[in-house]
Structure 1
Amino acid sequence: MNPPAPIAVLQPDWQGLSSQVKAFATLRSGGVSTGVYGGPAGLNGLNLGDHVGDDPLAVEANRQRVNALLPSDVIFLSQVHGTLVVDGTQLRPGVCADAVVTSMPGVVCAVLTADCLPVLFSDAEGRVVGAAHAGWRGLAAGILENTVNEMRSRGAQNISAWMGAAIGPQKFEVGQDVYDVFTAQDGEAARFFVKISSNDVNGLQQKYVADIYQLARLALSKVGVVNVVGGEYCTVSDAQKFYSYRRDKETGRMASLIWIEPTA
């Protein structure tokens, strides 16, 4: 394997949280994956997805590089675009869910993405944290609301959210079905869809570009989470930093991770 490059990460830009809360999101470079799972030059990719066709040894090496930065080894969810939220202390490999929360220091909450929206959560006191994977199906079905409610059931108050890198509002082309799902639930959602025309195999059809960041903000506002930051990236447009399924089809996965630092 080629020698890995240093790991570069995104740091959430939220403020006012407990210093015990730690979080970051990985980028596409900094590991040992190659080819379509590599970095921009096809080398040094930090693919963390073990379900996308990459060399399992490379994925394991990449995961160990990330684990070296964490208080405990991360256990990734088997994400299914659903609404189930699990407790991080009970997480086992292969568990099907799209969000994880914990109040236990040292337990890492994480999700994998490559265009879908990763959202990290913390209460102001640093007692409860969580991570959610929000593709459009999960977002429409309530994965973010469920995550917030699970955190509150553990005593979380004054919850903040950070939106990691996802497909941007100029690139997220969707059909009438997606528009109808969101607007049927909340008429306000129509503000975050822009009509476009696009040729496809069935001829000229009306389509939209959607702003997944604003749709997430709307969903969070409905459950009282208004301290929301992030949402300035586009995974499709920035091939230097990000894997993108929409752009490349066969590609790697990035992780967004959060935990409560154990006290000495």
Structure 2
Amino acid sequence: MGSLNLGRSNLDPDGVRENFDRVRSALDVHTVVALGQVHTPDVVQVTPELVAGWGEHGHLGSSLPGQSRLPVADAMVATDAIGTGVALAIRVADCLPVVLTDPAAGVVGAAHAGRVGLLAGVLTNTVDAMRRAGAGRISATIGPHVCGACYEVPTEMQDAAARQHPRIRATTSWGTPSLDLGAAARDQLEQQGVTVHSLGRCTRTDEELHSHRRDGAQSGRQAALVWFA
């Protein structure tokens, strides 16, 4: 099982605080902005005003149902107006973490793209939001996620997803229907003129990473972060 759990649900708040303090120190950032991720296509604009009111450990939110305090969305976009040392963080345990950048325009984005959000358009919405903020030549990096050889789904779910994105159809290494979220995400992004890179690690098979598919309810979360240095 992976270490450095950055999730909110399976670790005590002191543990989350300590782990994020380690991340902030290693990356030399003072603020980490996170979301209440709920598999939507919604994108939040991270503004200097939001950052100013965030607080040292605002990424913890609240453990009480219905009282997240985190912006509820699955992607965020920021310009260099937020200043240096502010990281946007997406937390995952099998879904795709995607970070997007246009250094020349001073625009960055980060998205949580699980099956539901990906099919609903969270990545296309993130690119559109970045373009409205002034981005031109965007590069995206897809982080570790459950791969098409491991993401088994019922045939009906595969057929429904493939009707929207044919590239998502795949087969597990044991011969059953699956989804390749990474292939579908790459296709979506490239159709929008985005240059795409993938880290190519599968969360289910890589023991260094957290995976809900592999470890179930006790799984932790890793995070993808992007920031202005």
The CA RMSD measured in Å over matched residues stands at 2.1
SS at match of 1:112: strand
* Correspondence for 2:66: none
- Which amino acid in the other structure matches residue 88 of structure 1? V
Measure, in 1, the Cα distance between the counterparts of 2:7 and 2:108: 22
Measure, in 1, the Cα distance between the counterparts of 2:148 and 2:173: 12
What is the TM-score with the length of structure 1 in the denominator? Answer: 0.72
Counterpart of 2:24 (choices 67, 72, 80) is 67
Q: 1:74-153 to 2 correspondence within 5 Å? A: 74-89=32-47, 90=50, 93-104=69-80, 105-106=83-84, 107-125=86-104, 127-153=106-132
**Counting strand residues as a fraction of each chain, which structure ranks higher?**
1
* Correspondence for 2:214: 247
% identical equivalent positions: 39
2:227 is the alignment partner of 1:259: yes
Counterpart of 2:7 (choices 45, 49, 65) is 49
Q: Give, in angstroms, the shift of residue 197 of structure 1.
A: 8.2
2:214 is the alignment partner of 1:238: no
* Correspondence for 1:32: none
SS at match of 1:150: helix
Unaligned runs of 5+ in 1: 1-35, 40-44, 199-206
* Correspondence for 2:60: none
**Counting helix residues as a fraction of each chain, which structure ranks higher?**
2
SS at match of 1:237: coil
Measure, in 1, the Cα distance between the counterparts of 2:132 and 2:211: 34
Measure, in 1, the Cα distance between the counterparts of 2:173 and 2:24: 43
* Correspondence for 1:212: 181
Measure, in 2, the Cα distance between the counterparts of 1:48 and 1:222: 32
Counterpart of 2:149 (choices 137, 154, 170) is 170
Paired residue total? 206
Cα deviation, 1:82-104, whole Å, max 9, x if unaligned, reads 11110122365421110111003
Q: Give, in angstroms, the shift of residue 182 of structure 1.
A: 2.5
SS at match of 1:86: strand
Change in CA separation of 1:162 and 1:195 when aligned onto 2, cut-off 3 Å:
closer
Q: Give, in angstroms, the shift of residue 134 of structure 1.
A: 0.5
SS at match of 2:116: helix
* 8 Å Cα contact 1:243/1:251 also seen in 2: yes
SS at match of 1:74: strand
Measure, in 2, the Cα distance between the counterparts of 1:162 and 1:256: 10
Unaligned runs of 5+ in 2: 55-68
Change in CA separation of 1:195 and 1:253 when aligned onto 2, cut-off 3 Å:
closer
Cα deviation, 1:146-200, whole Å, max 9, x if unaligned, reads 00000000010011100000001211111234323322224x336x3238988xx
* Correspondence for 1:204: none
* 8 Å Cα contact 1:129/1:151 also seen in 2: yes
Measure, in 2, the Cα distance between the counterparts of 1:72 and 1:87: 19
Counterpart of 2:170 (choices 193, 209, 218) is 193
2:136 is the alignment partner of 1:160: no
What is the TM-score with the length of structure 2 in the denominator? Answer: 0.82
Larger CA Rg, structure 1 vs 2: 1
